Amino acid sequence: MTSSELWDRATAERYDAEETGMFSAAVLGPTVAFLAELAGDGRALEFAIGTGRVGVPLRERGVPVAGIELSEHMAAVLRRKVDADTLPVTVGDMATTVVPGEFALVYLVYNTLSNLLTQDEQVECFRNAARHLRPGGRFVVELGVPPLRFLPPGQVAVPFDVSERHLGFDTFDLVRQILVSHHFTRDGDDGRYRREASRHRYAWPAELDLMARIAGLEPERRVADWDGTPFTQESTKHVSVWRKPGAGH
């Protein structure tokens, strides 16, 4: 059984409304363009497709897309946007679930690889991506760089959002490479806040390269964002591309 925490109905129903920034044209435009170029005339498979934030506009761009999603509730929200013939989704975990056919592109966005809480499962996710790729196909992962440089000795928490309606901070278990994202979100205008927390396993870019090698994939490109900004030691996240050896396109 996967270690990923399962998103419930209430979380799925409010996901799109609370992640409006990630649905903006400024974010989705470069993301979809990057992925569409890699897919070319082939099919794409999104691991942890969620409510279809990326998969739906990529399909509208003309790329045939399929998805794997652990939460039936998230998949149900996606299904309101597009029918199963247009964008098929299989309910299951991204480390072991297999769908029919070969793909030019398998991709995993918005830190979702970290939902797998063990190194073994993350390795299996890479192997599962390789299993679905045709020769020459690519696996793309968008993942944050662990912000451990912000941790002075004795401190275990790093804030990532401090605003009127939301307070977010991460706490770190440095031995197990586990971070817990804590969210305090204002509900309505009566002063009440909703508290939520989710666990993640962070991994360094070099660790992902080793996972890719174990899965038989070769590094092709690493940039700091979907616009192709060069990746440096100051980058807070990366978009990494690995290629399955063989005939390309």
pLDDT digits (tens, 9 = 90+) for 190-239: 778 888 899 999 999 999 999 999 999 999 999 999 999 999 999 999 99
Residue range 91-104: mean pLDDT, rounded: 96
Using CA atoms, how far apart are residues 198 and 57, in angstroms rounded to an integer?
27
| Strands 218-223 vs 237-243: parallel, antiparallel or unpaired | antiparallel
Report the range of poorest mean pLDDT among 79-83, 129-133, 150-154: 150-154
What are the φ/ψ torsions at residue 53 (nearest 5 degrees)?
-55, -45
Residue range 70-89: mean pLDDT, rounded: 95
Residue range 110-116: mean pLDDT, rounded: 95
Residue 160: both structure tokens together: 């990532």
Contacts of 16 (CB under 8 A, 6+ apart): 23, 51, 53, 77
Average pLDDT over the chain, rounded to whole? 92
Band (160; pLDDT cuts 50, 70, 90): confident
Note whether 53 and 19 are within 8 A (CB): yes
Q: Does residue 20 register a pLDDT over 70?
A: no
Note whether 66 and 43 are within 8 A (CB): yes
pLDDT digits (tens, 9 = 90+) for 164-195: 888 999 999 999 999 999 999 887 777 788 88
How is the chain split into domains, by residue range?
A: 9-145+203-243, 148-198
Q: Which residue in the block uniquely carries the two structure tokens 């979907």?
A: 226
pLDDT value, residue 249: 47
Angle at 113 between CA 216 and CA 93, to 5 degrees: 85
Note whether 160 and 146 are within 8 A (CB): no
Note whether 58 and 38 are within 8 A (CB): no
Q: Does residue 24 register a pLDDT over 60?
A: yes
- The CATH architecture of the domain made up of 9-145+203-243 is 3-Layer(aba) Sandwich (3.40)
Burial 34-58 (b: 16+ CB within 10 A, else e): bbbebbeebbbbbbbbbbbbbbbbb
Band (23; pLDDT cuts 50, 70, 90): confident
Band (90; pLDDT cuts 50, 70, 90): very high
Band (1; pLDDT cuts 50, 70, 90): low
Percent of the chain whose predicted confidence (pLDDT) is above 90: 75
Identity of the highest mean pLDDT range in 1-5, 68-72, 159-163: 68-72
pLDDT value, residue 82: 95
Return the axis-axis angle of helices 9-18 and 72-79, rounded to nearest 10°. 50
